[in-house]
Structure 1
């Protein structure tokens, strides 16, 4: 469970680092945006690295850690896209998410 919680928190910071400037930050100088994003990414790394170490030492494979991170990233980004950026969800988003969930299922089957 610590692995999942840390991955969720790291993805919140990762999404913010990559996309915060798309709404209200487009007029800021690109160097400032990059520096702010690096700061956010530092927090993301400080959460993701322990998440992966804890998960790996707990018996998760690297592939399981990566696909779980991708699934969490899609959930976080979907919420960010709708709530922060005001973009609508479409059936294509659900279909893509289901494909990722199928990948998660494949990697955890038989574990």
Structure 2
């Protein structure tokens, strides 16, 4: 990625290596975080969401895309699905509330979380 950034002479992109527990982003530096089919894979979801919360600006939002566990017709293994109820419970514990859950994707939730 770094090579492509240099080759393409892109000046507004920086790569930052995170870890299992932190995104390693500066505090209050991000407007939006997009996580597509990844949250359910976190080994340390509590620590990661705390790190994301710290990196988000006060009015920042988390966009959480996850396969719908409520829908048995979604052709994905159950271990890779997440229900809205589960996501809301975990995000609430981290200090976020569900702002919306769009139905525009055929198999996935598109949940938007904001600070409580």
TM-score class, shorter-chain normalisation, is under 0.3
**RCO (CA 8 Å, sep 6+): is it higher in 1 or 2?**
1
Q: TM-score normalised to the size of structure 2? A: 0.27
TM-score by length of 1: 0.27
The structure with more strand, counted as a fraction of residues: 2
